[in-house]
Structure 1
Amino acid sequence: MAQLYYKKVNFSPYRDRIPLQIVRAEAELSSEEKAYLSAVEKGDYASVKHALQEAEIYYNININCMDPLGRSALLIAIENENLEIMELLLSHSVYVGDALLYAIRKEVVGAVELLLNYRKPSGEKQVPTLMMDTQFSEFTPDITPIMLAAHTNNYEIIKLLVQRRVTIPRPHQIRCNCVECVSSSEVDSLRHSRSRLNIYKALASPSLIALSSEDPILTAFRLGWELKELSKVENEFKAEYEELSQQCKRFAKDLLDQARSSRELEIILNHRDDQSDELDPQKCHDLAKLKVAIKYHQKEFVAQPNCQQLLATLWYDGFPGWRRKHWAVKLLTCVTIGLLFPVLSVAYLIAPKSRLGLFIKKPFIKFICHTGSYLTFLFMLLLASQHIVRTDLHMQGPPPTIVEWMILPWVLGFIWGEIKEMWDGGFNEYVHDWWNLMDFAMNSLYLATISLKIVAYVKYNGSRPREEWEMWHPTLIAEALFAISNILSSLRLISLFTANSHLGPLQISLGRMLLDILKFLFIYCLVLLAFANGLNQLYFYYETSASEEPNNCKGIRCEKQNNAFSTLFETLQSLFWSVFGLLNLYVTNVKARHEFTEFVGATMFGTYNVISLVVLLNMLIAMMNNSYQLIADHADIEWKFARTKLWMSYFDEGATLPPPFNIVPSPKSVWYLCKWIHNQLCPGDDSDNEQKRHENLKTFTERHADNLIQNQHYQEVIRNLVKRYVAAMIRTSKTNEGLTEENFKELKQDISSFRYEVLDLLGNRKPQRRSYSTSSTEVSQKEETNEDNAGEKPRAKSVSFNVANKKKDFNVSALIKTMSGINMVEEKPKSNGISKRSFVRNGNRVQRLSSSKKESFKRLGLLFSKMNGHVPEPSSEPMYTISDGIIQPHYMWKDIKYSPMDREREENCSKSEINLNEVAYSGNTRLTGQSKECPVVCTSSLHCASSICSSNSKLIDSSEDVFDSWGEACDLFINQWKDGQEDHVTTRL
């Protein structure tokens, strides 16, 4: 079992234990680096700044170090949304890396803007990319900032990036076979697919489309359709592409939701995407955008209430208040108009511009007239099937009856209507509509029936008993085809059900179930063919002739079924009808006593019935139930989309007259035909042609100007819709967001940062517990213990530096910004890198902290009173410590002794802001009364203080309430300090 973890080891002391060890250890952080990252995490600005300054001098901290989670200090600041620390880190040239991507993913807008405005200084030494852990990066190499921002769909961040003119790679076509796509797929197919998915995921961002697209609605249409097609090719990422396609559809629908008036709706739905096409003034309400939506199957967009409201207004034009009328009034009106369709059609043929001619052109009236015409056609088919006009049934080539002559104009009208539809819409659009395919089959059957009847009438003249006709007689075939066409014609009426809200969803469900039946038949035919082949192979040898069977009948249609599996075709029929229980079990018997053959045949027949009835048939029922449920769940959208397709077929110009009146040439058509013939036969002279060219140019200019005006209006409406959509999206996101864990983290971070800021202002911060020794470039950490009492709590760790002998005469910098309210203002730096600083007092801060400053200097007076004025001798190797205190320059002390009164005062004092050494405070520790010799202190350090002892430095405690008697010592110290620092204060380490 241990081998499952790692290789076998021999150091395990127990045989029944699995030894565990870290096999993928990471580099450990030093204590300074941990403190540095912890300060960034807590929002401690002062500590972070102090650590960065020390890192520039001593190189004791790697400012680009990472925690166990792979986060650098910059990433931690981004996660906590601490922009002040971010700015501080960037000012010290920390490695940026994927910080911008990280900020975009966290959706920290301020951090993104800060990183975008950040410019690396020239000559900056950044950490090379190869030195960083690229495999630990959370982002793939193909991810760019704009792509990640689009993935998060953050409008503000996307706007910041788009304003800087960023770009996104253009994806190739779905089935692109270029060298780039082929080579990329061969090298790394997973990366190629993932890269394509990331690009499309970015392009499908609603915020990006709204910002960067001139026509966001059309862009959403095309992109949604492309993603839907791509899901069929990239089967591995089918769910992702379908979700992106649905996202584009929702965006287009939500954008249309923001329309507030019918004028805006008309401008949107009537806009043409292709401005190169001339806009016919007569087609100003052709709903071009809605046609594009239907073409790309944008069901949510089409079923949107605003769109349906406009469609209903156009559909019931001329019938105000139609929906509020009683159903009986509606029925009576429809029946009346349906019966009058011949009168209206004749009126349109005679006078197209008359009142009746314009009335029949309305979409709703056109629909009623076409429906009435088709119902009349079905009624005549019913009359033809009832044989009201009797003819000689034994005549081989009968002439057409009166009813058949009446049916012929309707058939010709249907054929002419289909030809015009194919010519106007194109072949591809025509074949994509299943009802058109059904119409094509129906018309083809009628044409075949008419042709066969003509052949029979010409070829066969006499009468002959029908029983003696050959099987393939033209009249028999014509009658069979006419019967099939009657069925299709009756079923074609189902397409009109979509106009009704109750029958429409049922009709859509029926169409979806037909697809399930086709899928089922594919599997069923495979099973049927497999068992038919096996049974035919088994029973082929036992075939009998018709004379050997009772009543000379052979096959399964006989009273006593026989030879059910003798041929392959007969076997297929037998197995098919067995599904409906029309086949007996004794068909598996044979006349010979071959029980084994009968057993195998019966077993195969029973297995087929189990598979077909129990498995496949129930699977078909489940599939049909699922399809119906899908339609039922989206019944409103599916029905409105289907109804819109039906309505749009009547909004178009043309096809005004129903069959059979559509085959009658109208005066307008005759005039156009005569004019065209005249132009072809008698072309005009040059002057007429020149005049026509001028007229055409004028017309083209006017139409082009209209296009520009309409496009400008469309852009204004789209701009308003986008603004409303973005505002609604932001409101919705804020409403749905609520209180999350991120909100509590942000609140905790703000409180932590505020805590450290308050401590800095009040001067109650304890500095880091460090002392520096050994050398200026080597850092060592050691644990100090109490030498006096071994049982007491040990002291905290200190980090010390030993500095080589330098110039003994140094100036001392005194920086007590947090205590005294004195701000440092940098002036022009000197050549040695030492900044000349001057003290500038902040009035407000002095007022707040004047008492604190006064008490701080008084505490220093207590310090000097304890030292008794003794100055230590200089040492050859100076030792200094980093602290935040102020000491008098050019002075040292030694032989320090404490009086009993001083001990008593020290015990009654509380913690002070002034720390001579960064050593942990112990509550039971007392200052020793022995005098100890101390080395010379480096008085020019930034945070330099006098060392009371080389190994043990004491934290001076002072009370918040200082005696007034210490004021003189404090004043004496201030005067001495001013004498040495009149011009400026230098800072040197």
Structure 2
Amino acid sequence: MRCATSNWSERRTSPICRGFLASKPRLNKDCVNCQGYTALHIAVRRKDLPMVRFLVQNGVRFNDVLLHAVETGDVPLTEFLVTEMSKTDPQCEQRGYAHSATYTADVTPVILAAQMGHWTLIHFFVKKRLVVEAPHTASCLCKTCIKAMRIEGVNASTRNLNTYKAICNPHYMLQVSGDPILDSFLFAQGMAGASHAEEEFRREYDEEIAKLRKFTCALLDQCRTIEETRVLLEQPAGLEGRVAHLAFPRVILALQYHEREFVTHGHVQQALRIEWEGEFKAWNRLSFPVKLVHFMIRFLTLPVVAVLVKLMPQSVIAKHWSSPVNKYMNHFAARLMFVFFVYMQICLDKARTSRGAPHTGVEWFIVIWVMGFVFEEIVTCYTIGASRYFCSMWHWYDITMISLFLLTFIFWIVAWAQMLGDPSGGTVPPRKDWPSMDSTLIHEALFAVSSVMSVFKLMYYFQESAKLGPLQVSISSMMVEIVRFFFICLCIMLAFAFGLTRMYEPYKGMKRTEPDGEEVKQSPAFTSFGNSMKTLFLRMLGVASDDQADVVVANAEDGSINEHWFTEVVGSTLYSVYQVLMLIAMLNSLIAIVTGTFQKIIDNAEVHWKFYRTRLWMHYINEALVAPSPFLFFQMPLLIVDLVKKRRYWPRRNQPTDSYSDVINKVVQRYLCHERVILYD
């Protein structure tokens, strides 16, 4: 029908146009209107193929009409123009037009078709093996990128943005990508880097990233069984290192790229929960008192579990205790026991006046526990690889805490050695006569900091709780904002500390005797740079005294009193300005910032909490040992036997029965049906 109508229109239009052109031999066939459109442009935008053919036969210039044809989405029209233009320009589909009034020079027909998301046009170009090349990363310093930054400037930025808009279109990605989920992650990561490097286009990049994440979630929506979801999550592509023994490598990659929407998707969380519960299927349905009883039992069964799971790994009991949720409770119980021993060490070793190492007997338990922590971290680093291990802030936290404990042990030994060489047995001299860097003082300070960090580590386990987890995530996010705020406060404190120290330092140590005989001393608040910073910081927290800004001048030789009132006025003014700026402006700004951050997190608390909880789950699914420190030492003989027999410590996981390509093809088909995509005209 369309062909018949086209032929009738062509027979009707051609004689009229030929007669008109014959009567106007001097007519400029390439004249343009106010929009820069020629007659060929208008015919293309009206999808008038007969008129387009007639104008092309009469030698009208093409210019950028191919781009306009692509924008209309008319496939026969586009194919005709490509055929005609290829006669003189074989690269017309991959070339932009610098003098186009509508499109920038970096927009090619292939890029425009991908941006428009027209399935048939994209298929037409892909059949000709015409694809869009992904831009280089924002941190790339190759010759091409450096030349583009120097010469093109803004044009290079817009070219990258237009390219990302093209390759990130779902219809284009589904036709050229064998793994659209992985490509979505990589493109989102690339655009995130570009948005930081080119802040002028951050809003546009953020919009494209949001579309990509919505697309990956839409693909997950089309999974109809838990087996299909597992196949998608077990795909190891994109994850570097040894991954055969790891569960859900695609989730690990999503966590690495901060793909919150993907990680917290309902189907992903369902698959993770099944893996998390393992053989303990009833865990999530137990009441809180019953869960508490299960947890308390751990304190008694940990040594037995450590041996049992190694002696009979295939038994029902061993599989039950090896489930991730049981590993989590085992480690939590062991951590509470460690905190209890730290508390006992502090209680039994208080009010000490003698030098040397502590000798309560509890310190041996602490040493054994910390040695177990060292072994756990080594195993974790070996399991997931150094690159992923050092990307986790909690691992850095553990390294810092363990290092402080090890330093404490070293200074225990040093203090013990010094006590052996002391003929008085360490009872004299008294504490008030010890040097400031005495080994006993150092190990006491190190143990104090280590104790604080060991208790704070309990916050890590609270992430699993639906009640405490969101609160812990909110507090962590607010702490990030507070740290950023303190950088600004530090600049303000430095500025005022320089000025106040310069004014008050000459009066350091001065004393003045009043007529009534009372002696007044110069306040040390600003007499040194360190004191100035300390005073300004404490003032920010509301701690201050009345005489901090006073200037005390020593009496003259005849006993008369001299007052440097100008210096005192300037110093008091500077101090007052600091207080107004810090206490009124900055602290209120901090309250507003923290409130806004907290509200933003609360509005999306479930997504944030599930994302961090998934990190916890993945640690116990893949990394954590069944027996925590120090009970893992019960397994040492059996581990050595395994090494002698050259067994693999981490067996290869069973692969899903369905292949990834089969599942992704089904998911894509359902997605296209759900989106009601018009595949062909």
TM bucket, shorter chain: 0.7 to 0.9
Pick aligned residue for 2:368 from 405, 409, 412: 409
Change (3 A) 1:606 1:106: farther
Q: Radius of gyration: which is bigger?
A: 1
1:119 corresponds in structure 2 to 84
2:663 corresponds in structure 1 to 717
| CA displacement 1:872-931 (0-9 Å, x = unmatched) | xxxxxxxxxxxxxxxxxxxxxxxxxxxxxxxxxxxxxxxxxxxxxxxxxxxxxxxxxxxx
1:669 corresponds in structure 2 to 639
2:235 corresponds in structure 1 to 271
Q: Helix, strand or coil for the counterpart of 2:191?
A: helix
d(CA) in 2 for partners of 1:511, 1:373: 24
Q: Answer whether contact 1:149 1:158 (CA < 8 A) is retained.
A: yes
Listed as ranges, the matches of 1:111-150 within 5 Å are: 111-116=77-82, 118-119=83-84, 135-150=99-114
Pick aligned residue for 2:441 from 466, 476, 491: 476
Change (3 A) 1:539 1:647: same
Q: Answer whether contact 2:243 2:249 (CA < 8 A) is retained.
A: no
Q: Helix, strand or coil for the counterpart of 1:345?
A: helix
d(CA) in 1 for partners of 2:572, 2:241: 70
Q: Would you say 1:190 and 2:154 are equivalent positions?
A: yes
Change (3 A) 1:183 1:726: same
Instruction: Point out where structure 2 has 5 or more consecutive residues left out of the alignment.
Output: 1-7, 90-96, 420-424, 553-561
Q: Helix, strand or coil for the counterpart of 1:227?
A: helix
Change (3 A) 1:270 1:584: same
Q: Would you say 1:726 and 2:649 are equivalent positions?
A: no
Q: Answer whether contact 1:339 1:372 (CA < 8 A) is retained.
A: no
308-317 vs 579-588, greater mean Cα deviation? 579-588
Q: Helix, strand or coil for the counterpart of 2:447?
A: helix
d(CA) in 2 for partners of 1:392, 1:276: 53
Q: Answer whether contact 1:416 1:663 (CA < 8 A) is retained.
A: no
2:479 corresponds in structure 1 to 514
TM, length-normalised to structure 1: 0.61
Q: Answer whether contact 1:338 1:371 (CA < 8 A) is retained.
A: no
d(CA) in 2 for partners of 1:263, 1:113: 43
d(CA) in 2 for partners of 1:185, 1:206: 29
| CA displacement 1:78-123 (0-9 Å, x = unmatched) | 333444544554555543332221132243445434434x436979
d(CA) in 2 for partners of 1:278, 1:425: 8
Q: Would you say 1:159 and 2:130 are equivalent positions?
A: no
Letter in 2 for 1:638: H
1:632 corresponds in structure 2 to 602
| CA displacement 1:247-275 (0-9 Å, x = unmatched) | 32222222122111112111111122169
d(CA) in 1 for partners of 2:433, 2:195: 59
Pick aligned residue for 1:107 from 50, 73, 81: 73
d(CA) in 2 for partners of 1:531, 1:392: 40
Listed as ranges, the matches of 1:912-951 within 5 Å are: none
Change (3 A) 1:108 1:142: same
Q: Answer whether contact 2:501 2:528 (CA < 8 A) is retained.
A: yes
Pick aligned residue for 2:379 from 400, 409, 420: 420
Q: Would you say 1:210 and 2:174 are equivalent positions?
A: yes
Q: Would you say 1:435 and 2:394 are equivalent positions?
A: yes
Q: Helix, strand or coil for the counterpart of 2:524?
A: coil
d(CA) in 2 for partners of 1:260, 1:548: 89
1:618 corresponds in structure 2 to 588
| CA displacement 1:16-35 (0-9 Å, x = unmatched) | xxxxxxxxxxxxxxxxxxxx
Change (3 A) 1:605 1:120: closer
Change (3 A) 1:547 1:493: farther
Q: Answer whether contact 2:508 2:522 (CA < 8 A) is retained.
A: no
Q: Helix, strand or coil for the counterpart of 2:61?
A: coil
CA root-mean-square deviation: 3.3
d(CA) in 2 for partners of 1:46, 1:675: 87
Instruction: Point out where structure 1 has 5 or more consecutive residues left out of the alignment.
Output: 1-42, 125-132, 680-695, 697-702, 734-989
Change (3 A) 1:405 1:584: same
Change (3 A) 1:597 1:164: same
Letter in 2 for 1:382: Y
- Residue 370 of structure 1, CA deviation: 0.7
Pick aligned residue for 2:465 from 488, 500, 503: 500
| CA displacement 1:822-845 (0-9 Å, x = unmatched) | xxxxxxxxxxxxxxxxxxxxxxxx
d(CA) in 2 for partners of 1:193, 1:716: 38
Letter in 1 for 2:45: E
Q: Answer whether contact 2:137 2:193 (CA < 8 A) is retained.
A: no
Q: Helix, strand or coil for the counterpart of 1:593?
A: coil
2:422 corresponds in structure 1 to none
Q: Helix, strand or coil for the counterpart of 1:588?
A: coil
Listed as ranges, the matches of 1:297-336 within 5 Å are: 297-336=258-297
Pick aligned residue for 1:590 from 551, 558, 570: 551
d(CA) in 2 for partners of 1:443, 1:408: 11
d(CA) in 2 for partners of 1:495, 1:410: 18
d(CA) in 1 for partners of 2:222, 2:81: 35
TM, length-normalised to structure 2: 0.86
Letter in 1 for 2:666: N
1:369 corresponds in structure 2 to 330
Q: Would you say 1:77 and 2:43 are equivalent positions?
A: yes
2:558 corresponds in structure 1 to none
| CA displacement 1:336-363 (0-9 Å, x = unmatched) | 3454333322322444344333222111
Q: Answer whether contact 2:134 2:167 (CA < 8 A) is retained.
A: no
Change (3 A) 1:512 1:279: closer
Letter in 1 for 2:576: G
- Residue 546 of structure 1, CA deviation: 8.3
d(CA) in 2 for partners of 1:192, 1:274: 28
Q: Answer whether contact 1:397 1:457 (CA < 8 A) is retained.
A: yes
- Residue 490 of structure 1, CA deviation: 1.1
Q: Answer whether contact 2:540 2:583 (CA < 8 A) is retained.
A: yes
2:163 corresponds in structure 1 to 199
Pick aligned residue for 2:431 from 466, 469, 484: 466
Q: Answer whether contact 1:363 1:647 (CA < 8 A) is retained.
A: yes
1:565 corresponds in structure 2 to 526
Q: Helix, strand or coil for the counterpart of 2:629?
A: coil
1:451 corresponds in structure 2 to 410
171-180 vs 652-661, greater mean Cα deviation? 171-180
1:23 corresponds in structure 2 to none
Q: Would you say 1:49 and 2:19 are equivalent positions?
A: no
Listed as ranges, the matches of 1:873-884 within 5 Å are: none
1:880 corresponds in structure 2 to none
Q: Helix, strand or coil for the counterpart of 2:236?
A: coil
Q: Answer whether contact 1:55 1:62 (CA < 8 A) is retained.
A: no
- Residue 198 of structure 1, CA deviation: 2.0
- Residue 147 of structure 1, CA deviation: 0.5
d(CA) in 2 for partners of 1:160, 1:208: 11
Pick aligned residue for 1:540 from 496, 505, 509: 505
d(CA) in 2 for partners of 1:671, 1:625: 57
Pick aligned residue for 2:353 from 394, 397, 413: 394
Q: Would you say 1:378 and 2:339 are equivalent positions?
A: yes
The structure that is helix-richer by fraction is 2
- Residue 570 of structure 1, CA deviation: 1.3
d(CA) in 1 for partners of 2:117, 2:291: 49
- Residue 457 of structure 1, CA deviation: 1.0
634-643 vs 393-402, greater mean Cα deviation? 393-402
- Residue 303 of structure 1, CA deviation: 0.8
Q: Answer whether contact 1:396 1:463 (CA < 8 A) is retained.
A: yes
Q: Would you say 1:523 and 2:488 are equivalent positions?
A: yes
Letter in 2 for 1:217: I
d(CA) in 2 for partners of 1:569, 1:277: 48
Q: Answer whether contact 2:415 2:439 (CA < 8 A) is retained.
A: yes
Determine what percentage of the aligned residue pairs are the same residue.
Answer: 31
Q: Answer whether contact 2:173 2:180 (CA < 8 A) is retained.
A: yes
Letter in 1 for 2:174: A
Structure possessing the higher relative contact order (Cα contacts under 8 Å, 6 or more residues apart)? 2
